Copies of this chain bind each other. A is one copy, B any other.
Amino acid sequence: MHDPANSGDQASLTLAEPPDFDSYPIHHAVKDATPIAEGVRVLWDDGLECRYHVFWLRENASDRETMHPVTREQALQLLDLPVDLEVVEAGIDRLGNLVVRWSTGDESRYHPGWLYAHSHGTLEHFTLPSRVFWDASLQEDLPRFHGPTVLQDEGLFGRWTQALHVHGLAILEGLPRFPDVIEDVPARLGPLRTSNFGRVFDVRSRPDADSNAYTDMALPLHSDLTTREYQPGLQFLHCLENEAKGGDSLLADGFYIARYLSETTPELFDALTKIPVCFANKARETDHRWETPMIRLDEAGECEEVRWSPWLRAPVVLPFEETALLYRALRAAFAAADAPHHRINTRLQPGDLLGFDNRRILHGRMGFDASTGARWLRGCYVEREELDSRLRMIERTKRTQQELASGGVD
């Protein structure tokens, strides 16, 4: 076969850019490339054999006509390509790029690190660390960080974000007791999510409460805004005052509880993943409701989200037997979360900022006596995916630094 790498084209002298801003260290080389029907077959130097589809390759080329040079978003549209596009030649250039010549006469080159990274079922680049589920034993080991240092030290900031993902919660201690801290610190992760309770909300006892949260009642373990299709991901609560008698914070790991239920009462767990519950607000001016099972699993059967609402459920309208099964399951779930060996309790100190994954971690409080002193928490929400993006960026930065240090090639 004629090797297009020897075509003398100047472009063959530079390593192709990846089509995104990530860094792809080169650990493997293309040994052989052959056109096949609808694509290219590539043999890698570790024996891996891969087939890449014609449109997949073509639309992920990184030249300026395919990828907008400033935004790195696709400028070439899939429909701009002829439906019968073919690979007429495939080869390797001197720098190790895969080179593909198209039936249109164009040529594309592919960075071997990028290509290899996209040759497996799992893209390790974008996989988040594993979560660690916890029970009451976390009480002694609650992830706590010195707030002012976290805000100045990139490494510690990274460990804080990691804890928010891995354990689903973390406390920053010793922050200033200013009301605007709640707007500044969480906003470093991403934009705040505004709800009907505002961009920031004040948890204090109020005579005109439009939520049980704004009374001095005990609040059983729950998630916030279960009545919305997309529950807020991360919740932050900044403690400004906590003098009242009572009011300790309760926390439990909903994913741990879900696993516990799946192991101890699989038929009830099953019901909680399948029977839709109607989560509804009770308000004079709005009617928000969302129907979905209380535990949601992803494609792999892993817990993706729990929606935990002892007191914001509308009456389900289901056949009698299914209703009976659901109530058995609800009772089992609430009881499991409430069990002292499954939950932790902690008293927030003024200056503490508690952050937790509202789609995983259940939170509540003991009742307090508003007549014995002030209790004032300020809260806000930031989506979980902002944290995910941040965790991926931390890894990307590490890769880029390693690549720069190693001169780019392994």
Contacts and interface: CB of A to CB of B under 8 A. Distances in A.
Contacts of A267: none
Given A21-B284, A68-B215, A331-B78, A316 B56 contact: yes
A123 interface: yes
A272 B52 CA distance: 20
A21 B72 CA distance: 51
Nearest to A194: B191
Interface string A247-263: 00000000000000000
A212 B331 CA distance: 51
A56 to B, nearest CB: 6
A287 B393 contact: yes
A320 B39 contact: yes
Contact of A121 (B193, B317, B323, B324): B317
Q: How many copies does the complex hold?
A: 2
Given A282-B20, A287-B126, A315-B56, A75 B192 contact: no
Interface stretch (A146-154, A156-164, A306-314, A402-410): A306-314
Contact of A310 (B77, B119, B288, B320): B77
A53 B228 contact: no
Nearest to A212: B73
Interface in A117-163: 118-123, 126
A308 to B, nearest CB: 12
Nearest to A318: B121
A209 interface: yes
A374 interface: no
A290 B385 contact: yes
B78 A334 contact: yes
Contacts of A389: 286-288
A284 B389 CA distance: 11
A215 to B, nearest CB: 7
A401 interface: no
B311 A392 contact: no
Contact of A79 (B118, B334, B383): B334
A190 interface: yes
B73 A324 contact: no
A38 interface: yes
A334 B77 CA distance: 10
Interface in A275-317: 276, 280, 282-290, 299, 310-317
Given A19-B315, A56-B327, 14 more contacts: A55-B331, A56-B315, A68-B217, A70-B209, A73-B212, A74-B311, A77-B311, A79-B310, A79-B335, A118-B317, A192-B194, A286-B393, A287-B393, A289-B392
What 10 A-B pairs have minimum CB-CB distances, sorted nearest first?
Answer: A74-B311, A230-B230, A72-B282, A287-B392, A191-B194, A51-B320, A55-B327, A53-B323, A286-B389, A73-B311
Interface of A: 19-22, 38-39, 51-53, 55-56, 60, 68, 70-75, 77-79, 83, 118-123, 126, 190-196, 199, 208-212, 215, 217, 220, 228-230, 276, 280, 282-290, 299, 310-317, 320, 323-324, 327, 330-331, 334-335, 338, 383-385, 388-389, 392-393, 396
